[in-house]
Amino acid sequence: MAILGIDEVGRGPLAGPLVVGAVILPDDKPDWVDELKDSKKLTPKKRNELNEVILKQATVTGLGWVSAAKIDEIGISAALILATKKAVKSIQSLHAPFSQIIIDGKVNFLKETKLGKYVSTMPKADDLIKEVSAASIIAKVARDNYMIKLAEKYPSYGFEKHVGYGTARHITAIREFGITPEHRKSFEPIRSMVGFERHDNTVVKNTTAIGSHAEQKVVEALTRAGHTIIARNYKTKIAEIDIISVQHKTIYFTEVKYRKNENFGSPLEAITKDKLKKMRMGAEMFIKTYQKYDRYDISLAAAEVVNSDFNIKDWFVIT
């Protein structure tokens, strides 16, 4: 009977999903199997070549995905278990038989399931066991491709280069533009920046964190409304724009105003003629920098976030 190899990719990044790969290889072990190794030891070109071969010629392959939002909700340990279960379920749905499961590392993510007794854990299995090597390759390529597409949606972050890991460039981009819905709010340094707490949603008493948390609430609301967020905290020497989003053929430049309570006036009162002028100049600078948006209609907008619950009272177009 066959071995089911399992490996994960994306445990440590600050953004993007966690992906678990699962692979059963043919019994006759064709020549290309000898080329399989830990995905991190392969060049991107070789990794992509082997990925195509594995997907076409392996007995069966499967992937288990867990989003950044779900990781924030349940924690990375539970997310690893969930992603592993999803990957195995995809294999089982194809009715491919196996007698043993080998998981890279020291943790049996299937321990509490009926399959737990069939699992062997092995450090460096992704380099020692061909089935696990194959699992690491398909998970790595799938996740990298996801992050490359994400880079098109959020061009300011360089996702195509660091695929969500906490490089200096990535952290600089987070501090400059804020976070996207694909960032893990429960991971440091993002957690401190937005004041994220998984269980009680406590917000740290820090003005930067409060502002970021208010902006994040608006980002989430705009995303639900069908906007694509392309930048946050876009800065020029003249102006800073909190959120830049696209919907249909209009690009929106949104100023977020947070008020501790509703007795401090409307956000529109805080947007003076001078502020509006600077927003417009910042918007024009963005369009000149990212010319792919030069045919879009431009709208300046404002969002009002109030109270300690960070309720979005309003979002409206100014001009």
Angle at CA 257, nearest 5°, toward 253 and 262? 145
pLDDT tens digits along 98-138: 999 999 999 999 999 999 999 999 999 999 999 999 999 99
Q: Would you say 193 and 184 are in contact if contact means Cβ atoms under 8 Å apart?
A: no
Mean pLDDT, rounded, for 2-18: 96
Region for residue 304 given its phi and psi (left: phi exceeds 0; alpha: psi -120 to 50; beta: otherwise): beta
Q: Quick one: pLDDT band at residue 205, thresholds 50, 70, 90?
A: very low
Structural tokens at position 299: 């709208």
Give the least confident one: 132-146, 165-179, 200-214, 261-275.
200-214
The identity of residue 296, as a single letter, is: Y
Asked if 3-150 and 203-317 have one fold, the answer is no
Tokens 């392996």, residue located: 58
The amino acid at residue 302 is: A
The CATH T-level fold of domain 3-150 is: Nucleotidyltransferase; domain 5 (3.30.420)
In the numeric block, which tokens belong to residue 271?
């947007």
Cα separation, 257 vs 28, in Å, equals 64
Neighbours of 264 (CB within 10 A): 13
CATH of 203-317, one of 1.10.10.10, 3.40.1350.10, 3.40.50.720, 3.40.190.10: 3.40.1350.10
Q: Which residue has the higher pLDDT, 305 or 46?
A: 46
Q: How far apart are CA 20 and CA 66, in angstroms?
A: 9
According to the model, what pLDDT value does residue 211 have?
Answer: 63
Return d(Cα 92, Cα 139) in angstroms, integer. 18
Q: What pTM, to 2 d.p., does this model score?
A: 0.65
Q: How far is CA 28 from the centre of its chain?
A: 38
Q: Say if strands 100-104 and 18-24 run parallel, antiparallel, or are unpaired.
A: unpaired
pLDDT, tens only, 212-255: 677 888 888 888 888 988 888 777 777 788 888 998 889 999 88
Pick from 240, 237, 251: nearest CA to 211 = 240
Query: What would the mean pLDDT of 17-22 be, rounded to a whole number?
Result: 98
Other CB atoms within a 10 A radius of the CB of residue 117 amount to 10
102 closest CA partner among 128, 80, 83, 82: 128
Note whether 143 and 9 are within 8 A (CB). Answer: yes
**Scanning the structure block, which residue is given the tokens 């960070």?**
310
Q: What are the domain boundaries of the chain?
A: 3-150, 203-317
DSSP 53-95: HHHHHSSEEEEEEE-HHHHHHH-HHHHHHHHHHHHHHHHHTTT
Cis omega before residue 189 (within 30°)?
yes
Q: What radius of gyration, in Å, describes the C-alpha atoms of the chain?
A: 23
| Phi, psi angles (nearest 5°) of residue 286 | -60, -45
